[in-house]
């Protein structure tokens, strides 16, 4: 007699590892493990959720018309070419489900977001990891990795956990040279932190093979309510909407997203905070003798020398004992590195102080 089994390959998927949030025995944890906005969400988004909560017995709009209109207004995009999801993770999953399957390949860079691999495998496709050059996306390596089986090419620009990005010209070169059956997907989760950056909008508007994913989880501080979106050619949006659940984004998330994307004062304040403290944190870490990958996001990747007991794991344990939670990134192929979110002034100064003490230990 047979037994109940999942689809082939499902059990080979490693569970996603999120940033830790708690330290046993510590009440006031400094959490800089998930690239969250230190200001939290926009007060206007909080108020919108409170108002929407009274209507939680009502089904939300099935096509997210109001949220798509707000996003389109904020980013000068056609709302009909926008799709909303439960975080950008769901949009990534839709893309793999719709365009990749058994026998197909999905390319991603070696230090790219782990959901690319997970979603590819969930669709039965084969994820293909491509080397980066000094923790920067390597267009030539990606093009060399393409085959007649390539259906999707994922790059995060800026990338997480490295904080690096490539130019619009390099993205265009990639888009113009991938195989004709493939789609280039630009993950723009951190695009708002780069001044004057359109996350690839102009490239998408000029081509039929480029798509972007975006999120409200980072700059907008809505990670807990789960809302994201995608923008691309109408043909791709039409395909994705055919597999999207009719009520995938809840009413409170829709209300929060609309309020957040329209609160430009909060957006400006959040970006200014990052512009102030990203270089400060980077400089202070370098003063301690630590190497930092230059970042354009709201986080830094800190590299520890693998000698004298001052490795990343030791530093992480030392910080945890003091109620500070950062992100080990060994699962991203960076075992001697820690990713640190840019937090509040107090949080940033506390981490630097603790790391100084750690490095001065005999």
Q: What is the CATH number of the domain that holds 340?
A: 3.90.1150.10
Say if residue 277 is in the same domain as residue 336: yes
Say if residue 27 is in the same domain as residue 71: no
Domain membership flag for residue 195: yes
Measured distance CA(235)–CA(342) in Å, rounded:
38
Per the structure, the count of domains in the chain is 2
Q: Which residues contact 120 (CB under 8 A, 6 or more apart)?
A: 96, 100, 106, 108, 126, 127, 152
Enclosing domain of residue 97: 43-263
Position 309 confidence tier, pLDDT thresholds 50, 70, 90: very low
Say if residue 258 is in the same domain as residue 272: no
Q: What is the CATH number of the domain that holds 214?
A: 3.40.640.10
Q: Which residues contact 130 (CB under 8 A, 6 or more apart)?
A: 107, 108, 109, 110, 138, 141, 142, 144, 145
Position 28 confidence tier, pLDDT thresholds 50, 70, 90: confident
Say if residue 29 is in the same domain as residue 68: no
Helices and strands of the chain, counted as H and E runs: 12, 13
Domain membership flag for residue 26: yes
DSSP code string of 106-146: EEEETTS-THHHHHHHHTTPEEEEE--BTTB--HHHHHHH-
Of the residues 209, 244, 263, which one is the last residue of a structural domain?
263
Of the residues 219, 244, 263, which one is the last residue of a structural domain?
263
The pTM assigned to this predicted structure is: 0.93
Position 331 confidence tier, pLDDT thresholds 50, 70, 90: confident
Domain membership flag for residue 234: yes
Say if residue 115 is in the same domain as residue 149: yes
Measured distance CA(16)–CA(19) in Å, rounded:
10
| Mean pLDDT score, 349-353 | 98
Domain membership flag for residue 135: yes
């Amino acid at each position: 007699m047979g037994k109940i089994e999942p689809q082939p390959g499902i059990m080979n998927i490693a569970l996603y590892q999120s940033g830790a949030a708690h330290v046993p025995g510590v009440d006031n944890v400094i959490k800089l493990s998930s690239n969250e906005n230190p200001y939290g969400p926009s007060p206007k988004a909080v108020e919108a959720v409170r108002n929407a909560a009274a209507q939680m017995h009502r089904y939300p709009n099935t096509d997210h018309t109001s949220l798509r209109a707000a996003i389109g207004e904020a980013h000068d995009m056609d709302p009909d070419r926008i799709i909303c999801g439960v975080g950008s993770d769901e949009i990534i999953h839709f893309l793999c489900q719709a365009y990749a399957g058994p026998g197909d390949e999905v390319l991603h860079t070696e230090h790219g977001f782990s959901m690319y691999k997970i979603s590819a495998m969930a669709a039965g496709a084969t994820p293909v990891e491509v080397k980066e050059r000094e923790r920067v996306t390597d267009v030539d390596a990606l093009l060399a990795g393409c085959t007649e089986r390539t259906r999707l090419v994922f790059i995060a620009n800026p990338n997480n956990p490295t904080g690096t990005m490539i130019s619009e010209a390099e993205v265009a070169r990639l888009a113009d040279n991938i195989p004709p059956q493939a789609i280039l997907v630009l993950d723009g989760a951190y695009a708002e932190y780069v001044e004057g950056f359109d996350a690839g909008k102009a490239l998408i508007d000029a081509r039929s093979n480029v798509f972007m994913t975006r999120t409200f989880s980072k700059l907008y501080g809505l990670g807990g309510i789960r809302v994201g979106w995608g923008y691309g050619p109408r043909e791709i949006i039409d395909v994705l909407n055919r597999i999207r659940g009719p009520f995938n984004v809840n009413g409170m998330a829709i209300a929060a997203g609309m309020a957040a994307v329209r609160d430009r004062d909060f957006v400006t304040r959040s970006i200014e905070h990052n512009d102030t403290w990203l270089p400060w944190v980077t400089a202070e870490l370098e003063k301690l003798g630590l190497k930092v990958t230059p970042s354009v996001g709201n986080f830094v990747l800190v590299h520890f020398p693998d000698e004298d007991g001052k490795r990343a794991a030791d530093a992480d344990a030392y910080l945890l004992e003091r109620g500070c939670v950062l992100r080990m990134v060994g699962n991203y192929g960076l075992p001697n590195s820690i990713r640190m979110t840019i937090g509040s002034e107090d949080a940033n100064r506390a981490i630097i102080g603790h790391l100084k003490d750690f490095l001065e230990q005999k």
